[in-house]
Amino acid sequence: MYTEERTTNNETLALAADSTSGSNLAFSEASRLIKPTLRRGSTGQAVKELQQLLFHWQYYFGLIDGIFGVYVENAVKDYQHRVFLLEDGVVGSLTWQALYSGAPDKPIQMIGSSGNDVKIVQNVLKLNGYYFGAVDGFFGPMTKVAVIQFQTNKGLPADGIVGKRTWHALSNLPH
């Protein structure tokens, strides 16, 4: 059992919790979500909620029955892919957060940034015809130009910085 109180669309959702029960809970401080970690074999109301969220994002079209089977697991993996998360089929805090927001929770990337998140940006832009350089994980001038072109095409502020809105738009591209 878990606890949460959220207000959405003037409705308060109250869920009960028992952190002493030994259940594995996923905590997302940024969005204040307290959700159980779910995986194949999980059952109950939290799985129904997961199924409804996956249905909302058009990744799951099965029964809303509270049973986390292979079909749900594959839908979770597909959604995790979309939002640039580890595609393990396990619904932890990052996956819950992405399911509620509809977007990846990634750090801002800009000129001088480096690492795997820059590689993700470069790869997605390259796959979609915006970037023609090496996928090297370094956010240089070529990456900035590609980001600006992408942002312009999507009607976003064209500042060459990959923030929340640009990450969200990138997650909606084929990758």
d(CA 143, CA 118): 9
For residue 43, being part of any structural domain is answered with: yes
User: What is the spatial distance between Cα 149 and Cα 48, in angstroms, rounded to a whole number?
Assistant: 40
Whether residues 92 and 143 share a domain: the answer is no
Domain co-membership, 71 together with 121: no
Total tally of structural domains belonging to the chain: 2
Q: Is residue 82 domain-shared with residue 165, that is, in the same domain?
A: no
Domain that holds residue 54: 4-101
* Predicted TM-score of the model (pTM): 0.79
- Write the pLDDT tens digit of every residue in 36-93: 999 999 999 999 999 999 999 999 999 999 999 999 999 999 999 999 999 999 999 9
User: SS3 of 16, please?
Assistant: coil
